[in-house]
Chain A
Amino acid sequence: MAKPGRKEQATAVGSRPIEKSPAAPRRGARQHRIQFADRQRSWRRHHLSVAREALLRLKQTPVASLMTLAVLAIALALPGFLLAALGNLQALTSDWDPQPRIALYMQTELGDDAIDSFSRQLMLRDDLASVELINREKGLEDFRRYSAFADLLERFDANPLPAVIMVLPHNTDPLAMPLVRSELAALPGVDEAQLDMEWVQRLAAVLALAQRGSYVLGGLLALAVLLVVGNTVRMTIESRRDEILVSKLVGATDAWVRRPFLYSGFWFGLIGGLLAWLLVQLALLLLATPAQALADLYLNDFQLQGLGIQGSLIMLAAATLLGLSGSWLAVSRHLREIEPGDV
């Protein structure tokens, strides 16, 4: 049914270059067009059937295929899980103010008025960017609300908490901060000055390090995936040696011979990636409850994040790409060795 239609179309195209062109080349062109369309169609058909056969071939050796897929899934899940966990930690700490502040704990004997005027004096200083006073009542209220040790307060007759003034210096350089701190600590009325929030910076640094580490680990595991797929495909090539030889003898191109093996690698990557994705989601599901409990302790409205749509797609794409590359490596190394020279 399609054939006459294509022929008509080809004729129409062929007749366009007006009368001048001789008849013979026009016929040649027409024929070529049809062959080209046919070739396109058979190329698509071959891709589909080869993709299907490669998938069925995995099923023919279920144990070996499952073993390979399990190795791939674990190798892919590990970096996926690490990156998801780090993503969560970063989300958790991102609301935290990373700017280092100095907390001035005021002597409890000082009255509210004295502390108030002291804080106003601090505001006049050029080297401080901001000054925030947390008076004793506010401190008590916060402690009651946020601390797990709120019960302790009932043991005291009076408010045991000192007033605190949080100051942010203009110069937050790690070397300059201690100098500002000791200067402020020496001021009359200040009981103790503490460099606060330094640990947030440290945590961020640790997280960055862990992220870098998981990239390195991910790279190594990606290499492992390449090798596993490459080796599996190499064995498939060996087991189909006769078929490759005969195909080459009856006129198969390199691309034709290569195709089934590339599809094997494709499926290994894609299915391995899907399994890895499942593993990561499962692990996160297991962690969700304890993570929620922990977040509740800190009164944080933190929610454990999965890989997300983007993360999942990246993971699947990376896995598929690794599978394809692994098989490409094996195919380009071993297929050329199988030449019908010594039949």
Chain B
Amino acid sequence: MAAIRFSNVFKRYASGQDALLGVDFELASGEMAFLTGHSGAGKSTLLKLIMLMERPSRGQVWVGQQDLSSLHRSQIPYLRRQIGVVFQNHQLLFDRSVFENVALPLQISGYDPADAARRARAALDKVGLLTREKHNPVTLSTGEQQRVGIARAIVHKPKLLLADEPTGNLDPQLSEDIMRLFGQFNSIGTTVLIASHDLSLINRMRHRMLTLKHGRLVADG
């Protein structure tokens, strides 16, 4: 079964810029793939369509069994709860602790606080930051902040994990650590799609690679 399916998807922004031009692909459940291309090739747009941060101008996007075009605005939160996302600029909140940042998705989904605390600690443990749970994210290094972002993305055990340039500002060693972390999640059955332009790193990872160029999917494999 496909975890993500794009069928002839076009996206033109209100500014008139064409971000995606007839994109077709399927990502099987449990698969891990990289999405690459130059900046402006449409990688972020593609991820935004999956999250319904944007809607396609034409074509259809499925996440699991769900046709996103039939999803009403009020149902979007429940789609997003099934997906974990890691952002390039990590989007952490600096008015609360690392632990509270990670526990936020659980709190929003209505988990029991004790259960949420247990799961948040488990997620922090997985990214190796359990000892920092009480710190403010602002006191953490960039690499650590990115790992907190990853912990937040996987805390609710999503079936689908998306990442937009997760290694953007990191040195090669840290980048490789982060990518290995994604590999671990994939090995326990999570479908993973990572947008990245770090080709040397991606080539070493030996996973499927989707290449976007000017909004078109030019290579797959």
Contacts and interface: CB of A to CB of B under 8 A. Distances in A.
Nearest to B152: A250
Nearest to A239: B95
> Interface size class for chain B?
20 to 34
B112 A38 contact: yes
A246 B110 contact: no
B172 interface: no
Contact of A247 (B54, B104, B111): B104
B108 A256 contact: yes
A32 interface: no
Contacts of A29: none
A267 B85 CA distance: 35
A251 B105 contact: yes
Nearest to A247: B108
B162 to A, nearest CB: 11
Nearest to B79: A251
A340 B44 CA distance: 13
B110 A43 contact: yes
29 contacts: A38-B112, A39-B110, A42-B110, A42-B112, A43-B110, A45-B113, A46-B107, A46-B110, A242-B91, A243-B93, A243-B95, A245-B91, A246-B93, A247-B104, A247-B108, A248-B80, A249-B51, A249-B85, A250-B80, A250-B81, A250-B85, A251-B80, A251-B81, A251-B108, A252-B77, A254-B74, A339-B53, A340-B53, A341-B48
Contacts of B110: 38-39, 42-43, 46
Contacts of A250: 80-81, 85, 104-105, 108, 152
Residue in A42, A43, A249, A254 whose Cβ sees the most chain B Cβ within 10 Å: A249
Contacts of B81: 250-251
A248 B81 CA distance: 10
A46 B54 CA distance: 29
Contacts of B113: 45
Interface in A88-118: none
Nearest to A245: B91
Contacts of A38: 110, 112
- Which 3 A-B pairs have CB atoms at the shortest separation, nearest pair first? A42-B110, A251-B81, A251-B80
A249 B84 CA distance: 9
Contact of A343 (B87, B92, B93): B87
A22 B114 CA distance: 36
A331 to B, nearest CB: 16
Contacts of A343: 53, 87, 89, 91
Contacts of A248: 77, 80
B193 to A, nearest CB: 16
